[in-house]
Chains A and B, each alone.
Chain A
């Protein structure tokens, strides 16, 4: 590449060079983005299959296909892989990498080599986790002590893999913060930035400041198993609840690492497909930061019945309600953006609207769990399982699918079949609700989570939920086939098929190596839709 001048490389699309090695050694943020996208999608499929197996086991009371231990291993695998290998790196590392430089008018991220190293570290962490499967852990993805100290399964390798992944996450976050601060194009002021950038920025702060805490918790857990240091072991004067504090100090902000980028995606998709400026730009931008900040002070709402003091529970309950406010503001702003728009219900928009609908359910059911008295009854039941999946699938994954369909033409230079995409969406939307809505009822009725088997009175709703999981699985399968087919048979994508004003659409599809022939001078914000008639 060093043999080309910039005028030559600018005409070479980033996908042009072939060969595995040319990918694995590329520091181009777009190539790194695609590598992340393929990796996380692979793990998404693996963890998704384990979810289908879990739901199949729960189809009927009694043993259906696997015994209790295998069931516990499966839900640990499902949770750990979904969280640490798919959703946490997820949108941030894949779409964040692709879009941040393009959207702010830069040629790459601030530290391109560090960026590639982050990906390698991610692969290394993933590899360690896969190796741990030779004696898979059965602790659940939360690794609560003292069970995680005493179980005979391989907790050390799994937690070490997650520890390694933490480095990847920290370095990616660090890279993005510096990029957004230092590499914005002339005229790209903070208040002209696309909201996806604001969301990525808030996410990156969380990655840098929260991840070290899970790193130390997992190191201590490993030291506990290897040396018996006793911090979390009641038999040695330690405190098992301390581990929960450590764990959630990271893992609650991590929930926002998972969801905030998806909120950023929705803030991009809605204006384009409504042809309207985003409603309340500053409110959405700053609410991302507010959520990030408050999320550091709500961790113990996972622990109201853990044996923590009542005073602590009360304080954390109050703070939890605070985080609901900026979240609610976003939902209202997105809805208001639709008003008097020209709404085009293409597949990305369908996923974005599903996000608002489902995430609202996820958010509102969170209010139940934040209220002390209600949480005592609902904690650790299927209500929590349903709430969590409404936020993670209804929120993050809907945002992920919206992003996949929205930026697909830009990333691949091809178009997919829109009709099939809509059919897949319908299956996903219906399947998701059939799977998870019954779980709210199951939880309220008292069915505990992480049960390999359940009493017969919970049968019919579990059956419904399992059937839903098949519909959801079919929808995702159809979607994957459709997107893969587009790669080979799709029409060539125009530069800006959806008439977006954002910078990434002002370069060819797929973009060339150095992104911009000349660094653009930005004179207006990203959301100036419908100006003429104003």
Chain B
């Protein structure tokens, strides 16, 4: 079993070193106390009812020792934790900046070249990355275990964090500040690419390759990429929002009791203006995807929904 997640950033091994350092000191104390507890409990257990015991009320020497030694160790731990923390809070000047916007229950990433992605952060290996983050609604928290970084996203202000990814691959991103019904589905991926691949991706060549797939397949990818899966199931179960299974072509009951048929136009409107015609039994929680998602993508999603019978 892995005790700690994969090490995939320059900070990860430093944080691990702090954790292991404290673990070793803690284990020493814990084992010592446990040994004494168990040994005393067995060695001095009551054998006869009227056993006599010595009158010992304390020892200044012992008390001084067990005040000073832990104090020194605690200060050492504090300093060590602080030194690494300082590092974690000081991004290098040449960091690549990405803007992160959190909202219920999506991650939005904005890059310098004007690209925007949802729930997938694309970064190159070996370069310091600085994430400048804010929230559009409630608190969220950006946490990638493999990088050992975490920072809250707060509305009305910018927070940041930085790290240098050291290994290509895909890493899990969690929201760790409770943000409502969809909190545990506010997941994302961090895709660390080699510098060459990243350059290709920046220029958009990657996407063209994907564009040759059939629309329903593309829609299926968008379903997870755009975070639809956080709230809409495809197996008929109700999550935060209504399921997509059997949605297309069927009647849905709205809040005011009227019924509409879920055709292309209805689905399009539901994506761009979610609060306009809300399905009965669900709350007004879906954000508008206007300007976030292209017309092409909406068509692909509709094509995908059609396949879910």
Contacts and interface: CB of A to CB of B under 8 A. Distances in A.
A328 B70 contact: yes
A368 B20 CA distance: 10
B45 A345 contact: yes
Contacts of A69: 181, 240
A533 B53 CA distance: 7
Contact of A343 (B5, B44, B80, B155): B44
Contact of A374 (B15, B29, B71): B15
Given A328-B66, A361-B30, A365-B26, A147 B179 contact: yes
Contact of A380 (B77, B176, B184): B176
Contacts of B177: 144, 380
B66 A377 contact: no
A532 interface: yes
Nearest to B14: A373
A437 to B, nearest CB: 12
B220 interface: no
Nearest to A450: B178
Contact of A373 (B34, B74, B84): B84
A305 B75 contact: no
A143 B70 CA distance: 35
A448 B143 contact: yes
A72 B183 contact: yes
Contacts of A381: 143, 176
Contacts, number: 280
B37 A338 contact: yes
A280 to B, nearest CB: 4
Contacts of B179: 147
A373 B183 contact: no
B178 A342 contact: no
A364 B29 contact: yes
Contact of B81 (A372, A445, A449): A372
B33 interface: yes
Contact of A455 (B18, B89, B157, B172): B172
Given A68-B239, A317-B78, A152 B283 contact: yes
A61 B159 CA distance: 32
Given A342-B53, A374-B15, A147 B180 contact: yes
A234 B82 contact: no
A339 B46 contact: no
Contacts of A72: 178, 180-181, 183
Nearest to A529: B53
A41 interface: no
A275 B152 contact: no
A306 interface: yes
Interface stretch (B124-132, B134-142, B267-275, B295-303): B134-142
Interface stretch (A91-99, A318-326, A410-418): A318-326
Contacts of A449: 176, 178
Contacts of A209: none
Contact of B181 (A138, A276, A342): A138
A372 B37 contact: no
Given A277-B56, A372-B81, A335 B33 contact: yes
Interface string B245-273: 00000000000000000000000000000
A274 B51 CA distance: 10
A332 B66 contact: yes
Question: Chain B interface: which size bin?
Answer: 35 or more
Nearest to B83: A373
A364 B45 contact: no
Contacts of B225: none
The B interface, classified by DSSP as helix, strand, loop or mixed, is mixed
Contact of A146 (B18, B37, B84, B155): B155
A367 B26 contact: yes
A403 B148 CA distance: 42
Contact of B19 (A280, A321, A374, A450): A374
A240 interface: yes
A281 B82 CA distance: 35
Q: Tell me which of A274, A344, A446 has the highest count of chain B C-beta atoms within 10 A of its own C-beta.
A: A446
B150 interface: yes
A374 B18 contact: yes
A531 B55 contact: yes
A164 B51 CA distance: 51
Contacts of B5: 445-446
Interface stretch (B57-65, B109-117, B198-206, B209-217): B57-65
B56 to A, nearest CB: 7
Contacts of B82: 314, 317, 372-373
Given A338-B36, A343-B44, 11 more contacts: A234-B155, A310-B85, A325-B70, A360-B29, A372-B84, A373-B85, A373-B88, A377-B15, A441-B1, A448-B143, A533-B54
Interface of A: 63, 67-69, 72, 138-140, 144, 146-147, 150-152, 234-235, 237-241, 274-283, 305-307, 310, 313-314, 317-318, 321, 324-325, 328-329, 331-333, 335-336, 338-345, 353, 356-357, 360-361, 364-365, 367-368, 370-381, 441, 444-446, 448-455, 527-534
Closest 7 CB pairs of A and B: A446-B145, A234-B156, A371-B81, A534-B55, A372-B85, A530-B53, A373-B84
25 contacts: A72-B180, A140-B178, A144-B178, A147-B178, A240-B156, A277-B55, A281-B58, A306-B152, A306-B154, A321-B75, A335-B40, A336-B62, A339-B40, A345-B41, A345-B45, A368-B26, A371-B81, A372-B82, A374-B19, A379-B150, A444-B4, A444-B19, A530-B52, A530-B54, A531-B55
